[in-house]
Chain A
Amino acid sequence: MLELRPIFDAIGEFLNSILPEFWVTIVSAFGTGAIILGVASVFVLFFVWWERKVSAHMQQRYGPMRTGWHGWLQTIADGVKLLQKEDLIPRDADKLVYLFAPVVCFVAAFLAYVTIPFGEGLIVQDLNIGILYIIAITTFTVVSLLMAGWASHNKWSLLGGMRSAAQIISYEVPLSLSLIGVIMIAETLSMVSIVVQQEGWFWNWYVFRQPLGFIVYYIAATAEANRTPFDIPEAEQELVAGYNVEYSGMKWAMFFFAEYINMLTISAIAVTLFFGGWHAPAPFLDFIPSWIWFVGKCLLSVFVLMWFRWTYPRVRVDQLMAFAWKFMLPLAFVNIILTGFGIYLF
């Protein structure tokens, strides 16, 4: 078995035997942070390349082909290029806010991974308010976008920042409400317990008990991650690039990074809450390690998000708002009521 938990346990024991307890805490905190950062970075590098390939093939192009086999080194080459770029700060920018916006965005994107179980026992901290924590922390992104838009002293940035604030706050409501159905059934907020309850065959997954909740969640999450068809904060054709127009070099790369991390985050949440987390779809497939199942499901979900992006056109601002408040919100409420009836009846 290739489960990763025993490896980490062994490392922990080793650290305990050579270091005092205080230092063990410090080392394990930084260690897990570094591991998550590293793993997520690898995923982002892969996603950027993958998205370019998927979009290209959907348009019957090849996408990057020149760097390495089918251009797999393209993202790394891009990263090197971005590192060499001049770091510009607009003259009238609000310097402090301008500098901190990408950092806030980056950190907010990563904090969600504290309570996501990557596999059996592979979780940084199983908070008993896991879902609440994730909902709270992912909304932090809106602050960073607003900071970036405001501090750049550029009308396009400001418009993009305002739009993103309006959009993310609107979609946060149906998103949170759509998760309430799951919480009602699971009767817990802890991510690990929710996953454990979905054990066994795939029909135990909550997506089959909460189809409406899942649809609302997925649409709202797409909007939350600023992805097409809800990418009006960065609508290239209207706002040049939205809130990050004035950013260049590594600061821009951090925004970019955060965007793709968010894509992984919403996929991971969807998998954890609706698709059985690390569980295999059938008990006899358990011989494949749990983290592979989790990663596989996440990749599938990320692919679906890319698929959306390269299929649908962007909606207008008013359509976006109307859709959130007039359609998604009532649907989320209907879902809660139906779930309530369901729990009462069965």
Chain B
Amino acid sequence: MGLVKETTSGIYNLLLGLWVTFKHLFRKPVTLQYPDERWEMPERSRGTIVLLSDPETGELNCTACMLCAKACPVAAITIERKKDPETKKNYPTLFTLDTTVCCYCGLCEQACNFDAIKLTGKYEFSVSDKSELLYEMDFLQEIGRDVKYVKKKKAAKKAKKAAPKKDTGEKSAEKPAAKTAEEKKEDSNEEDKAKDKTSGEPKEKGPEDKTE
């Protein structure tokens, strides 16, 4: 009896296997034909770093404040600056990014208050010589020309206006009720920091501000 049962179940399973592979034969392959097709990179993906320019004047947004260089955990950024005698504004004379050490943590982008540096969805920057991985200011500006961005200050102002109106309702809807105390603490810490940067910002602001 056992033999018959084993044989029938064996045959059944063999046929089942054939059926499975046959079905798969007609499915659409999951392969992405890479050089011909590319993934759509997400908005906030952390790929190659670019320097952003003002879309109107075409000048770099960077004020050479050095915050990004200080924030960088691996000291990938080197900046030298000069002061314009007329406008009394700083501008960078040298801005290099050493992508061989950069770990794409995004801290530089968070530190910058002037929408000047951003991690983008761009990739494909392989080179045949390692020295080419030291990006100069002009190159960083060039690859950042087509990057669209939302100005931080404007966004913050908008949020500030919007926040008091639909304050409580939005907050309870967007913040999950089951948030741990730790997370809440973190949130408030970040908010404090943000408050320091842009003074006079109300403490209860929408969670969307944290993304900046």
| Interface residues of A, Cβ cutoff 8 Å to B | 54, 56-62, 65, 307-308, 310-312
CB distance from B204 to the nearest CB of A (A): 50
A307 touches B18 (CB 8 A): yes
**Cβ contact of A312, chosen from B14, B26, B29, cutoff 8 A:** B14
CB distance from B33 to the nearest CB of A (A): 7
Q: Interface extent on B, as a size class?
A: 10 to 19
| Interface residues of B, Cβ cutoff 8 Å to A | 14, 17-18, 20-22, 24-31, 33
**Cβ contact of B25, chosen from A54, A62, A65, A312, cutoff 8 A:** A54
8 tightest A-B contacts by CB? A311-B21, A58-B21, A311-B17, A60-B29, A62-B29, A62-B31, A60-B30, A57-B25
- The docked-state distance in angstroms from the alpha carbon of A307 to that of B19 is 10
Residues on A with C-beta less than 8 A from B25 are 54, 57-58
Task: Show 29 residue pairs from A and B whose CB-CB distance is below 8 angstroms, ordered by the A residue.
Answer: A54-B25, A57-B24, A57-B25, A57-B26, A57-B27, A57-B29, A58-B21, A58-B24, A58-B25, A60-B24, A60-B27, A60-B28, A60-B30, A60-B31, A61-B29, A61-B30, A61-B31, A62-B29, A62-B31, A62-B33, A65-B33, A307-B21, A307-B22, A308-B18, A310-B21, A311-B17, A311-B18, A311-B21, A312-B14
A56 touches B22 (CB 8 A): no
Residues on A with C-beta less than 8 A from B22 are 307
B16: nearest residue on chain A (CB-CB)?
A: A311
Residues on A with C-beta less than 8 A from B26 are 57
- The docked-state distance in angstroms from the alpha carbon of A308 to that of B22 is 10
**Cβ contact of B29, chosen from A54, A56, A310, A311, cutoff 8 A:** A56
- The docked-state distance in angstroms from the alpha carbon of A312 to that of B15 is 10
B24: nearest residue on chain A (CB-CB)?
A: A58
Residues on A with C-beta less than 8 A from B28 are 60
Residues on A with C-beta less than 8 A from B27 are 57, 60
Residues on B with C-beta less than 8 A from A54 are 25
Residues on A with C-beta less than 8 A from B14 are 312
